[in-house]
Every structure is written in C-alpha cells, then in structure tokens.
Amino acid sequence: MKSPIHTQLAPAAIGPYSQAVKVGSLVFVSGQIPVDPATGEFAGPDIETQTHQSLKNLKAILEEAGSGLDKVVKTTVFLQDMNDFAAMNGVYAQYFKEPFPARAAVQVGRLPKDALVEIECVAEV
C-alpha cells in the first residue's frame, strides 16, 4: 500500500504529484527545487544557496516520512548547467556522510521555475 507524505516544512507540490510516497520500507521523494516554503520564493540566486535549500526540503520531507538523510540510498541531481557540479557537490557533501548514497547527476534543458538544481531521492524508512 502506498501512502502520500506531506509537510508544510517543504514546498507544496505544484502539480498532480505528492511530495513523497511511502511504500513498505521505502520512501520516494519527488524532485525538490530550491523554493523556501516560508516565502514561496527561491532561497537565493546561486547554485550553493539553491542546493542547500533543495536539500533542506528533502530533509523535511524525509523526516515527515519517518526517515532521514542518513537513510537515503539513491539520489538524482538535475543541474541546469553541469559547470555548477563542483559547487553543488561541495554543498551536497555537507549533508551526506559515508556510506554515501548512490547518485546520478545530469544536466537538463530546463528545470521548474528555471531553478539551477533539483534533487530527488529514495530512502529507507
């Protein structure tokens, strides 16, 4: 049975999807862009600030699901510009400890609201 996850501590879904869905012992978190849930605006204009906010949003959703960043097994990072990879990776390393989750990072043509980064994950509950 799948259960939708929702928290006010992360941006509300802007379409027909859930912030996350819990199935058995796994939680699948939708891609999080750097929207500050308190303001509805981007946390900042640069990749570092946007990566921090995207990861804060992931963390809030994971905690609502009874999980946490330490239980993440896979992430996917979508970047508007692969030249931002090193800066994103520096921030990302502040949130995840060994053993690190598996990860894919790809450059995409465009992200929602023209964000610089979007991050999704799968975690254990």
What pLDDT band is residue 95 in, cutting at 50, 70 and 90?
very high
CATH number of 2-124: 3.30.1330.40
pTM more than 0.75: yes
Q: Where are the domains of the chain?
A: 2-124
Give me the pLDDT at residue 14, please. 83
Least confident of 11-15, 67-71, 87-91: 11-15
**Residue 73 pLDDT > 90:** yes
Helices 47-64 & 85-92, crossing angle to 10 degrees? Answer: 40
The predicted model gives 14-34 an average pLDDT of: 97
